């Protein structure tokens, strides 16, 4: 598989909300089993397996059979390759700073909402 095909597969895999949720679940719980992932969806196990097949084709998920179970791990390398393609060292420094600023502003806004609701002007 050439580099362009690999990126196409990665973008295709990340285009689905369900597949992004699967990646979030596997990232939060490395080594979790397919059954654990299925429990978070209202679709059939076969539907989840189809999503996992697409994620595996994009090399975003690594599955390992352990007895009767199939355990899952996330592989972030394909995402890193995409990131590296369109960023430079200089831009990544600023992007990191802006991202931290964004998260700080969101946390501050959430604290204000929480404190406004907690200590209203009754």
Q: What is the CATH number of the domain that holds 36?
A: 1.10.10.10
Domain count across the chain: 2
User: Average pLDDT for residues 28-32, to the nearest whole number?
Assistant: 96
Give the pLDDT score at 58. 96
Please indicate, yes or no, whether residues 37 and 96 belong to a single structural domain of this protein: no
Give the pLDDT score at 49. 96
Structural domain contains residue 82? no
CA atoms within 13 A on the CB side of 102: 6
Residue 122 pLDDT more than 50? no
Host domain of residue 114: 87-118
Please indicate, yes or no, whether residues 61 and 112 belong to a single structural domain of this protein: no
Please indicate, yes or no, whether residues 45 and 64 belong to a single structural domain of this protein: yes
What is the pTM (predicted TM-score) of this model?
0.71
What is the per-residue pLDDT across 50-68, written as a single tens digit (0 to 9) for each? 999 999 999 999 999 999 9
């Amino acid at each position: 598989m050439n580099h362009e095909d690999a990126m196409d597969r990665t973008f295709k895999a990340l285009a689905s909300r369900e597949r992004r949720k699967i990646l979030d679940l596997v990232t939060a719980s490395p080594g979790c089993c397919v059954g654990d992932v299925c429990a978070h969806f209202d679709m059939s196990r076969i539907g989840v397996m189809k999503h996992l097949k697409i994620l595996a084709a994009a090399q975003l998920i690594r599955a390992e059979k352990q007895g009767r179970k199939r355990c899952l791990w996330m592989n972030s390398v394909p995402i890193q390759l995409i990131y590296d393609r369109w960023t430079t060292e200089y831009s990544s420094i600023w992007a990191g700073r802006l991202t931290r600023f964004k998260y700080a502003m969101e946390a501050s806004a959430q604290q204000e909402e929480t404190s406004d609701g907690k200590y209203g002007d009754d």
